[in-house]
Amino acid sequence: MKFIDLDFQYELLKEKISNRLRGVLESGSYIMGPEVLELEEQLKSYVGVGHCVTCANGTDALQLSLMALGLKENDRVITTPFTFFATAEAISIVGAEPIFIDIEESSYNISPEKIEAFLSKLNKDELGKIKAIIAVDLFGLPANYAKLKKICQDYNLFLIGDGAQSFGGEVECKKTGSFGEISTTSFFPAKPLGCYGDGGAVFTDSKELADLVRSLRVHGKGKDKYDNIRIGLNSRLDTIQAAVLLEKLMIFDNELHLRQKVANYYQQNIGDGYIKPSIYDNHMSAWAQYSLRCKAGDARKSIQEKLNAKGIPTQVYYKIPLHLQTAFRDLMYKRGDFPVAEKVSETIFSIPMHPYLKREDQDLIIEVLNQSV
């Protein structure tokens, strides 16, 4: 059994993808070929925003977004400590400082209430340094954007959505990627919509921001890449990856539906010995991961071993919350600062989740889980 089965999907799309790739190879347009523009058109209408700009990966998508918003040294950006490292890394790369705020125990996403409590205690000088919030849609579940938007309006902050795990997720029938000033996603192979290498994208309704990201991804180009009007990056999506994504996008809604079916079956049949994902009303997760917590605090290791003995792979996302990562030691956070993120990181684990997970495999996973507590 595989944790994420990319081979099955490849078998399904083999011929179509091979034809697309042959087309790119024979065209010679390896960089910014027509497939890249076609993909950007399709992604922007899928997400329902004015502009989509693809780039080299989801981390660059965050960095490009922060650069386009003008974030730099001495600025501060609020984000969650319970995410993949790249979310906060991008803040540091542009010279700004991540400010971590604890998560909600129910959704594992950043807590709007805790952000408000934090902001309400700051003086005017301190408030002036805080420029943005990066919300992360952890495991595919969109963050609480309604509340986050209100806070951003009240405190005059930019809202950035890190949708690396949530492409396809929805709030009240609106897709992730359409909530903040600017949002990002990743096409890393294991994400809900993945390519066969690295890839990413930025979404925004602002033409000004989209134009800035288009310039920034090609060395801060002006008229062309030999006219450089700002410092940027080299961060384009390869034509080959765009070609792969065009084929995968065609079956993506069906895959979302299949993921939802797997999630529903887990939700209904995994017993009460576990804390299962809770999804806010009107929200639809993209189910990048299906993650559980053991009610008995120290049982994770033995449950993972029992699953492993039956050939069922598991993963822990994330063992070390970001405020305790060595790379952020200079920020001077310590154990105990974010008790919810810390507790969750000690008890959570993820079980196999992908659109092609067989019912008999789901049954085995559920049986072993329910016998283990």
Part of the chain binding ligand PLP (CB under 6 A), chosen from 123-131, 162-170, 174-182, 330-338 = 162-170
Q: Which is nearer to ligand PLP, 255 or 270 (CB)?
A: 255
> CB of residue 116 vs ligand PLP: minimum separation in angstroms?
23
Give the CA dihedral 62, 64, 70, 72, nearest 10 degrees.
70
> CB of residue 164 vs ligand PLP: minimum separation in angstroms?
3
- Secondary structure of residue 181 in the 3-state scheme: coil
Q: Which is nearer to ligand PLP, 178 or 362 (CB)?
A: 178
Residues 58, 74: Cα–Cα separation, whole Å: 24
CB 107 within 8 A of CB 348: no
One of 110, 134, 157, 164 touching ligand PLP (CB under 6 A): 164
Preceding peptide of 318 cis, ω within 30°: yes
One of 57, 111, 144, 289 touching ligand PLP (CB under 6 A): 57
Find the binding residues for ligand PLP in span 101-140 (CB under 6 A): 136
Find the binding residues for ligand PLP in span 328-357 (CB under 6 A): none
Site membership for ligand PLP, residue 84 (CB under 6 A)? yes
Pull the structure tokens for residue 21: 């790739």
Helices (H), ranges, the chain: 6-27, 34-47, 58-68, 86-93, 112-120, 124-129, 145-155, 207-216, 239-250, 252-269, 300-309, 339-347, 359-371
> CB of residue 191 vs ligand PLP: minimum separation in angstroms?
6
Find the binding residues for ligand PLP in span 279-318 (CB under 6 A): none
Q: Which residues sit opposite 196 in a β-bridge?
A: none
Residues 81, 103: Cα–Cα separation, whole Å: 8
Give the H/E segment covering residue 77.
strand 76-79
Site membership for ligand PLP, residue 200 (CB under 6 A)? yes
One of 58, 168, 177, 321 touching ligand PLP (CB under 6 A): 58
One of 9, 39, 46, 59 touching ligand PLP (CB under 6 A): 59
> CB of residue 71 vs ligand PLP: minimum separation in angstroms?
17
Residue 7's identity, in one-letter code, is D
Pull the structure tokens for residue 78: 């609020």
Site membership for ligand PLP, residue 83 (CB under 6 A)? yes
CB 177 within 8 A of CB 185: yes
Pairing status of strand 170-171 against strand 174-175: antiparallel
Q: Which is nearer to ligand PLP, 198 or 255 (CB)?
A: 198
Site membership for ligand PLP, residue 198 (CB under 6 A)? yes
Q: Which is nearer to ligand PLP, 184 or 304 (CB)?
A: 184
Part of the chain binding ligand PLP (CB under 6 A), chosen from 158-166, 207-215, 245-253, 325-333 = 158-166
Site membership for ligand PLP, residue 87 (CB under 6 A)? yes
Q: Which is nearer to ligand PLP, 189 or 273 (CB)?
A: 189
CB 179 within 8 A of CB 149: yes
Q: Which is nearer to ligand PLP, 58 or 355 (CB)?
A: 58
Which residue reads 């999804």 in tokens? 279
Residues 115, 134: Cα–Cα separation, whole Å: 12
Instruction: Please report, as ranges, the residues that interact with ligand PLP according to CB under 6 A.
Output: 57-59, 83-84, 86-87, 136, 162, 164-165, 186, 188, 198, 200
